[in-house]
Amino acid sequence: MAQPVTVNQLCMKQVRGAPLAFVGQLLILAAGSAISAQAATIPFTFEVTYDAFLGGVPSPATLTVPATNSGSGSFAPFGSAIYSETGTVTFAMLPSGDFVPSTVSLNFTASFNGGADTFTGTDFHVFGVSETMTILGGTGIFSGATGFATPVTIVIAPSGNPAPNFFATLATSGSGQITAPGLNAVPEPATMALLSTGPAGLAGVAAIRRKRSKLIRLSS
């Protein structure tokens, strides 16, 4: 015959595993936080429009001339940025005697939050073939950054701007990824599920304690 269970015994049975559950949930929270903190690689997309200026005129004897670009755009999820590039453009001379861009080698800077956060790198473009951006460093949240992007650049306005040495207005868009110790990546779905079990478990422990207190008051 089963022995009767008192209210106090019932309370003790319900909360016996509570301390272990509490510790377990804390461990889950700690593990989830560690996973989130280590995920410092973030994919991004971007759209930038800028004016391109040449520091000279190509000639058969001088096919490579200095170049500077300046403009602005957006980098999702980082926000708006001031964008600038400096480097060189190498031209090819056609049989007609005209010159067309052949390769571009530039150093770029994307500046966010009034210059508090920047990342820098190189942009190498072979016209009609490929273009690659390599992230080599940064400041602020991008300190120690590395990464890459694959852009596509098109001319949206040819020369004709009255500004001295104006070449064309260009638009660049693409995607890539950046890694830096100061970045906090958005946790993956599995990590989010892991983190959500922590608060839920702690809430369960609190509910058990409230129920125990209520039963003790009823039995006294």
User: In this structure, what are the phi and psi dihedrals at residue 115, rounded to the nearest 5 degrees?
Assistant: 95, 0
- Regarding whether 139 and 208 lie in a shared domain, the answer is no
Q: How far apart are CA 75 and CA 146, in angstroms?
A: 16
pLDDT value at residue 94: 95
Task: Confirm if 110 and 118 have CB atoms less than 8 A apart.
Answer: yes
Q: How far apart are CA 6 and CA 14, in angstroms?
A: 13
129 and 74 share one domain: yes
The pLDDT of residue 23: 46
pLDDT at 128: 85
Question: Do 137 and 194 lie in a common domain?
Answer: no
The whole model's pTM is what?
Answer: 0.67
Q: Which helix (DSSP H) or strand (DSSP E) does residue 191 occupy?
A: helix 189-219
Instruction: Tell me which residue of 43, 24, 51 sits closest to 162, measured CA to CA.
Output: 51
Question: Is the same domain home to 203 and 115?
Answer: no
Residue 78 lies in a domain: yes
Given a contact cutoff of 8 angstroms between Cβ atoms, the answer to whether 176 and 43 are in contact is yes
In a domain, 94, yes or no: yes
pLDDT at position 162, please? 78
In 10 A of CB 104, how many CB atoms? 20
Count CB-CB contacts under 10 A for residue 30. Answer: 11
DSSP state letter for 97: S
Residue with tokens 């429009």: 49
The whole-number pLDDT of residue 179 equals 96
Q: Is there a single domain that holds both residue 167 and residue 207? A: no
13 vs 70, 106, 129, 210, 211, CA distance in Å? 70, 70, 72, 14, 12
Question: What is the residue range of 124's domain?
Answer: 41-179
Residue 3 covered by a domain: no
Residue 3 identity:
Q
Question: Which residues, 6+ apart, have CB-to-CB distance to 199 below 8 Å?
Answer: 29
User: Tell me: the pLDDT tens digits for 139-175?
Assistant: 999 999 999 999 999 999 887 777 788 999 999 999 9
**Residue ranges, the chain, pLDDT below 70:** 1-39, 185-220
- Give the residue among 216, 200, 205 at the shortest CA–CA distance from 17: 205
- My answer on whether 206 and 115 are in the same domain is no
Domain presence at residue 7: no
Same structural domain, 75 and 173:
yes
pLDDT at 158 (0 to 100): 82
pLDDT at 157: 87
Q: Is residue 87 part of a domain?
A: yes
59 in the same domain as 148: yes
DSSP assignment letter at 40:
-
Residue 7's pLDDT is what?
45
Total structural domains in the chain? 2
In-domain check, residue 28 = no
- Contacts of residue 77, defined as CB under 8 A and 6 or more positions apart, other chains included, come to 42, 44, 186
Q: Are residues 115 and 61 both part of a single domain? A: yes
